[in-house]
Amino acid sequence: MKTETTNYHFNSGITLESGESLSAFDLVVETYGELNADKSNAILVCHAFSGSHNAAGESDTDGKLGWWDEIVGPNKAIDTNKFFVVSPNNLGSCFGSTGPTSICPKTNEIYGKDFPDISVLDWVNSQEMLLNKLGISSWACVLGGSLGGMQALQWAITYPDKIKRAGVIAAAAKASSQNIALNEVSRESIRKDINFYEGDYLKKGAFPKSGLKAARMLAHITYLSEDNMNKRFGRRMQDADSKVDESVDYQVENYLQYKGQKFSETFDANTYILMTKAMDGFDPAKDFNNKLEEALKNVKAKLLIIGFKTDWLFPPERGKEIQLAAMQSEISSSYLELDGKQGHDSFLFKSKRYEDNIKAFLSS
Amino acid sequence: MNNPITNIITKWIEDNSRVIDFGCGDGSLLTELRDNKHILGYGIEIDPDGINECLKNNISVVEKDIDDGIDEFVNCNFDVAVMASSIQCLKEPNIALKKILNLSNKCIVTIPNLGYWRCRLALLLGRMPVTPSLPSSWYGTENIHLCTIKDFEDLCKEEDFIIEENMHLNKKRQVSSLAKLMPNLLSCEGVYLLARK
């Protein structure tokens, strides 16, 4: 699979939904496959909140497989033999694109807490600038899961002429009260870490690692299904010689401790707050009298909405709502409810049906 | 257009209609209607293979068990709903029909006729009937609410559904003037265009 990693610099800057602006910014982008002669085979994949530009194949930095490696690749659901897949790291993230850990050109200091609020629309606007930079007139498809699915939906609404298909997977048209509540507990644990310094930790040479770890541990639970957790860990005890922490009794505790620890070593705390805030704020209907069907009126893309039965973070009903609103607005739209064993995370894992359905949608 | 039922339904549906097909299978009827009548169509289906075919054919499809509810589509303003070969599989076909005519101006229904003489003969001979419109054996069938043409027309009267058009098909699933003469005895299947009063 032909893979390229490129850092795109946008010196024209961007005005954000909040009214603030960035005078210039970078997007680090991984691409897979090759753009065809008439530039009609480009697919944008959008990552969820902790993802990066490394969607497929091994990462250059840590050798880890990309977050959507089961779905994107040669002969996979998103077939890189046919499609030119573009996977940017989002603005505000911490894997190379401009974000809170970058240097602010005005002050020559790390942005930290002063990095402006970012919204899903801002990501889509920056991705549209990327589309122009690549010299492509429209995406054959934009797709993603979770917060990535929200970007796909925003794309269909904001740039109807620049997107042919949108795959909105394990997502919602807006965060629920429960979603916001869970995010707030995560944020609170970061903010109350003694090393957070109100977001200025990097300037102080500190890092709110324990807060970020706890935040991730909580969030991780929401990505799994109860059944899946029971099957994987049950009430089994952790062997004494492989405990990551003395306090651990059960395997599930050990697993969460391990995952939280790993995450806190690679992710940025301000980015965590910024990304979850973007998710909480997503609500494309807000500019349309709170009517999603009105927000969807001008959509020209075909929509494929997929929910997973075991997902309780963005349950299938949230996806159904999007399809129903699309139907009311006479937009071509399909809704699928897949089994998926892994709860919200099901969107990351391949299954025969999932693969067949995405292939069929992309071929139509 | 080799399928005579597709033929009939296509004739009854006006150009540019908004159509919802309950139990759309692989989407072949909607494909036909899209290509020849330029309709805006949505299919409702529960079979994964049918759903995947719909996606391939560029047909909008919603994965859903019709028994789980029809009400949610009430604000979608459909001109025509189609219920071909699926009404007898529903838990409450009479209520389903009522609800469908609540969300759509018209409804096209096909009814496998249990009053067909071959069915009657089979029962007379002590066997469950198997006919072109009722092809499954007793243990393999999804049909739980079978009726005769007379039963169905009685229901339409009771519920105030107007029968705007009907066609009666013979064993070969062709429109038959003989079947039209005594549909309850001689037709294998009925196709109805219903409207609300």
Residue A40 pLDDT > 60, yes or no?
Answer: yes
pLDDT for A231-267, tens place per residue?
999 999 999 999 988 899 999 999 999 999 999 999 9
**Are A189 and A218 contacting, i.e. CB atoms less than 8 angstroms apart?**
yes
pLDDT for A77-106, tens place per residue?
999 999 999 999 999 999 999 999 999 999
Q: With H, G, I as helix, E, B as strand and everything else as coil, classify residue A333.
A: strand
- Give the relative orientation of helices B4-12 and B28-37 as an angle to the nearest 10 degrees: 40
Nearest to B60 among A328, A334, A356 (CB): A334
Measure in Å the smallest separation between the Cα of B196 and chain A Cα atoms: 21
Residue from A79, A311, A333, A346 carrying the catalytic annotation: A311
> Is A9 an active-site residue?
no
Mean pLDDT of all residues in B53-72: 95
- List the domain boundaries for chain A: 3-174+284-363, 179-276
Residue B114 pLDDT > 80, yes or no?
Answer: yes
Residue B156 pLDDT > 80, yes or no?
Answer: yes
pLDDT for B30-41, tens place per residue?
999 999 999 999
Mean of all residue pLDDT scores within chain A: 96
Sign (positive/negative) of CA torsion A310, A315, A317, A319? negative
Residue from A138, A146, A186, A264 carrying the catalytic annotation: A146
The correct CATH number of A179-276 out of 1.10.1740.110, 1.25.40.10, 3.30.365.10, 3.30.420.40 is: 1.10.1740.110
> Is A344 an active-site residue?
yes
* B168 dihedral zone (left: phi>0; alpha: psi -120 to 50; beta): beta
Mean pLDDT of all residues in A348-359: 97
Query: Residue A10's pLDDT is what?
Result: 97
Q: Any idea which fold A3-174+284-363 has?
A: Rossmann fold (3.40.50)
Residue B96 tokens read as 């389903």
**CATH number of residue B62's parent domain:** 3.40.50.150
| C-alpha to C-alpha distance for B119 and B31, rounded to whole angstroms | 33
Question: Are B60 and A363 inside 8 Å of each other by CB?
Answer: no
Mean of all residue pLDDT scores within chain B: 94
Query: Residue B2's pLDDT is what?
Result: 63
Nearest to A364 among B58, B75, B77 (CB): B58
Mean pLDDT of all residues in B171-197: 92
Residue B1 pLDDT > 60, yes or no?
Answer: no
Q: Write out the DSSP string of A131-167.
A: HHHTT-S-BSEEEEETHHHHHHHHHHHH-GGGBSEEE
Query: Residue A1's pLDDT is what?
Result: 85
| C-alpha to C-alpha distance for A215 and A269, rounded to whole angstroms | 10
Please name every residue paired with B81 in a beta bridge, in sequence order, or none if there are none: B20, B107
pLDDT for A185-219, tens place per residue?
999 999 999 999 999 999 999 999 999 999 999 99
Residue B194 pLDDT > 60, yes or no?
Answer: yes
* Domain tally, chain B: 1
Q: How confident is the model at residue A63 (pLDDT cuts 50, 70, 90)?
A: confident
Residue B111 pLDDT > 70, yes or no?
Answer: yes
Mean pLDDT of all residues in A289-318: 97
ipTM: 0.93
Residue B51 pLDDT > 60, yes or no?
Answer: yes
Residue A61 pLDDT > 80, yes or no?
Answer: no
Instruction: State the distance between the two ends of chain A, measured CA to CA, in whole angstroms.
Output: 24
Residue A60 pLDDT > 80, yes or no?
Answer: no
Domain range for B77 is 4-196
Mean pLDDT of all residues in A136-151: 98
Mean pLDDT of all residues in B62-79: 92
* B81 interfaces chain A, CB cutoff of 8 Å: no
